[in-house]
Amino acid sequence: MVALSGGVDSATTAWLLQRQGKHIAGMFMKNWEEQDTVSGCSAEEDAEDARRVCQQLGITFHGRNFSAEYWDDVFAHFLAELKAGRTPNPDVLCNREIKFKAFVDHAMDLGARRIATGHYARRRDNPDGTVSLLKGRDAGKDQSYFLYALSQDQLALALFPLGEMKKDQVRSLADQADLAVARKKDSTGICFIGERNYDRFIDQYLSAEPGPILTPEGQLVGRHKGLIHYTLGQRKGLDIGGRSGFSEAAWYVAAKDVQGNRLCAVQDSRHPLLMSTRLWADTLNWIGGKPPTSGQRLTAKVRYRQADQHCTVAGCNDRILELVFDEPQRAVTPGQSVVLYDGDQCLGGGVIADCNAPRPSWLSPTEQSNSKPT
């Protein structure tokens, strides 16, 4: 069963598998109920494009609505994390709970033995019967970061036909096959928001209380529109300008005080408040089943498309991972994922809980500690 999104990657995935002689069908997942007429998600258009590809290839089309599962297992968590002052990554949960769980269950019910997606990632079958997740060959499109939370069972069912390819090759194949979506523009951003204004969308679900923006020294420089609309390192949307006694340099979010509803901003993208060499993560998942060992040298990403960062495992148990980086990392953000690699192999990772960046002295006591989580 091929997970068809209505885009060029999944369509090319289906075409490639059919060329290999696989007996395939396609399934489109509707993960969000559109509630306005200005939606950028265009689920109906995407579903129709997926259906057209199936007709073109002569394979069966299935449509499934996973909106309820998405709300319960992804979106509710997304809102709770925003409310707590963190910056969640819904794509990780969507892969684990929807694309490789709800989708798989429905595919198996229809008689499928394997699933295939258009992810730019690779899997490796090991001699001991385990399966490893590897980076996609296209470094600019590699999506292993979003797949780190998969289990052995989930990964063992999955095929990633695009893993060895680069995006321009995929486009070329789609043109060669004259696929209906060959020239379709790639989708970007969070799927349930689409092209809508992010702040207005979030305001539909969470109340945003305005508050002060302070410098690290506690000087008032502006007003924020609600902490749920900001993340560490953010530059746009602060609306601070022309302040007496300050330069015209850009301002960046450096800290969030959820208890006091205050935002800290600085005029240096690499200000000490934004830099850390150590982080702690929880909600861990290790694809191979075994955690890394203390002292192990690896690389890690603290955000998607970041270059690999050299690091050392300072400690790891069932609950907490502690990493020390060779070079200071900018805007290590609680709620985002840190993903570990040994060469091209994605070992797994966890959700960032804290880091050792310094804090403004005026932060509320509960926001002040950056010691190791227990």
Q: What is the pLDDT of residue 73?
A: 95
Give me the residues paired with residue 74 across strands: none
Are 150 and 100 in contact, with CB atoms under 8 Å apart?
yes
- Which is nearest to 282 in space by CA: 373, 358, 368? 373
- Which is nearest to 300 in space by CA: 315, 310, 287? 310
Q: Is 316 tagged catalytic?
A: no
Token pair of 219 as six digits: 């000087």
> Could you write out the DSSP letters of every residue in 310-326?
EEEEEEE-SS-EEEEEE
Residue with tokens 């609950």: 319
Share of the chain above pLDDT 70, in %: 94
**Residue 229 DSSP label:** G
**Residue 299 DSSP label:** E
Domains of the chain, residue spans: 2-176, 208-266, 275-368
Q: How confident is the model over 265-276, as a mean pLDDT? A: 97
Integer Cα distance of 256 and 264 in angstroms: 6
Q: What is the pLDDT of residue 303?
A: 96
Burial of 236 (0-12, 13-18, 19+ CB in 10 A): exposed
Give CATH for domain 275-368.
Answer: 2.40.30.10
In the predicted structure, residue 36 carries a pLDDT above the cut 50:
no
pLDDT band at 186 (very low <50, low <70, confident <90, very high): confident
Q: Is 191 tagged catalytic?
A: yes
In the predicted structure, residue 168 carries a pLDDT above the cut 60:
yes
Q: How confident is the model over 162-184, as a mean pLDDT? A: 96
Q: Which of 41, 94, 264, 346 is catalytic?
A: 94
Write b or e for each residue in 67-97: b if 16 or more Cβ atoms lie within 10 A of its Cβ, otherwise e: bebbbebbbeebeebbeebbbbbbbbbbbbb
Its pTM stands at 0.94
Give CATH for domain 2-176.
Answer: 3.40.50.620
Question: How confident is the model over 193-234, as pLDDT tens digits?
Answer: 666 678 888 999 999 999 999 999 999 999 999 999 999 999
Are 185 and 8 in contact, with CB atoms under 8 Å apart?
no
Are 290 and 318 in contact, with CB atoms under 8 Å apart?
no
Share of the chain above pLDDT 90, in %: 87
More confident residue, 244 or 100: 100
Q: Which of 41, 191, 264, 346 is catalytic?
A: 191
pLDDT, the chain, mean:
93
Q: How confident is the model over 169-187, as a mean pLDDT? A: 93
Q: What is the pLDDT of residue 293?
A: 97
Q: What is the pLDDT of residue 38?
A: 43
Are 194 and 40 in contact, with CB atoms under 8 Å apart?
yes
Topology (CATH) of 208-266: SH3 type barrels. (2.30.30)
Q: What strands, in cross-sheet order, belong to the sheet with 115-116?
A: 61-65, 26-30, 2-4, 115-116, 158-159
Q: What is the pLDDT of residue 241?
A: 78
